[in-house]
Structure 1
Amino acid sequence: MESTTQAATVHDLDAAHLAAWPLPQPEAEGDKELRGHVLVLGGSREMPGAIILAATAALRAGAGKLTIATGDSVAQLVALAMPEARVIGLRENDTDGFHLDALESLDPLADKVDAVLVGPGMRDAPCTARLVHALLPRLDGAGVGLVLDACAMDVMLHMPHDWPDDKPMRFARPVVMTPHCGEMAHLTGLAKECIVGQPDTPALQAARDWNAVIALKGARTVIAAPDGTLWQHEGAGNIGLAISGSGDVLAGIVVGLLARGAPPEQAACWGVALHARAGDRLAQRMGTLGYLAREISMEVPALLEQLGRNDGSKHVPDGTGARHVPGDEQLGG
């Protein structure tokens, strides 16, 4: 990644901006199908809880229907923990990855789901990348939204055997990716310290090059779109959110909003804002340290109502009033 990509402005994801950018709402007389069908693909023998956290968050974000695809070894456990979901067991290999024959179970779902999350709790990155590469044409053809989290983002690094050496990985349709700074360093080859200190440029460069909405997580989270638009979220959330499973919850919120009909950049921005504000609510009630990732999504429904009622009439989300980002920093590392 060698470029000088830099946004002229960055939009603050405050309450006014969110209220002026309302989420799609289902018809009052609609059924669960109209609220969106989510497929969450992930989990492993050692981390079945990650997929439960993500799936729960997708429903808390308002999705109406849920299917979970996970390993045979934990499918029954997940089904008992998630009575709201249909759970599909997939054949596993010795490294906790899924065999490509999982496509036989997943392919028919492409015409039935609205959004897919891949990654929470998965452990075999090369195997996961092969599965994602195999799924992409089917999901693209059906117009299904996609969120990649955790090792599923390694699809950028592990190409199919017949992939041309001189062809960089780029998605045909924008997907959402949710790396933290360490994962972003792994994906780009940049030094983690450079990304932590100046996340805007790496996020924008990746968004443009990969045709992805990048939610680069940190104390200040930035969300970059392929067209160069940049948002930031700071001043909410707290160190309590830095806990195992928190990222799974964020990914679940994002895919739930995507299933409801939000475009990728809106789902990512609202997801980040809801996640941070949920952390603030828990910190106020329970203390900054010690609340659990499973408790984050419980705050989301009330926050959706609250943010949806705020008056955003004074905010124009097309750049007016956005903060200027000085300089023309180059990527390095």
Structure 2
Amino acid sequence: MTDTAMSEPGPQTVPEGIPLLDARTPRIPPPVNEILIITGRSGAGRTNAARALEDLDWYVVDNLPPSMLPALVGMMSPEGGGVHRLAVVVDVRSRAFFADLSAALEQLKSAGASHRVIFLDADRETIIRRYEANRRPHPLQGAGTLMDGILAEERMTEALRRTADEVIDTSKMSVHDLTRHIRDVVAGEGDRPLHLTVESFGFKYGLPLDADHVLDVRFLKNPYWVTELRHLTGRDEPVAAYVLDQPGARQFALDYADLLASMLHGYLTELKPFATIAVGCTGGKHRSVACTELIASRLREHGYLTRVVHRDMGRE
């Protein structure tokens, strides 16, 4: 009688190009689709709300007929690099189609598409004042008065207002107030990081037009007049050492970066997610380059996303 040994399992094979995963391989869950319906009364700020969402990298569709909403949501990517955050502005500009919005929202609910409805509102006096300022007719005004259009819209939207997930009264809000409120409503977007650019430049080529801060480092001795350093740049160690080892130079650059770091968060508070710090010397090759590299490094230590640009290096 012959013993039959259990055979060892052979090596696993997978189709070419497909990686073999085991239990230790982290699995990244696909991004969750988010859907916002922006609606409300004309003159209450829908356009500004849509712009705020666009700035937060949402895909925004304005003035969509409600009947097209389920089809648009159905095109969102379940995984991969497609659209995962969709904001749709739906309002009475779609005229008779607006009556289809409730049915479209019910269709989304039945399909399991989670969504939120944000209703923008304002009192009649504010809406009238805004329309008089921009001199445009109300979409429901027709041959009547502005008040006729406002009252007609109130009747059409009242039921939707009662069922909205979020009602924002913009009567006493500025454009910036509304933008901040939209950021608060959209979960997690209040922590959007500030993106900094530290840019070296040469004064003889002109100031950077988009600079928020300009630092002049021409008070430092110029390596250009040192023959063995002239052909190098501020990114080369001999030049950086020559510039930053001058009495007080290194500490000046670090103190400047620390001073900036203490107030840069205010840019986010004021809805500016980008800031540019320009550092200039005569030609933009030696002193400004060395100081730019050090300032950027210090700002990174403070936790800011910082990129470096040397605008005029190599231009001579």
Please give the TM-score of this superposition, normalised by the length of structure 1: 0.28
What TM-score comes out, normalization by structure 2 length?
A: 0.29
Bigger Rg, structure 1 or 2: 2
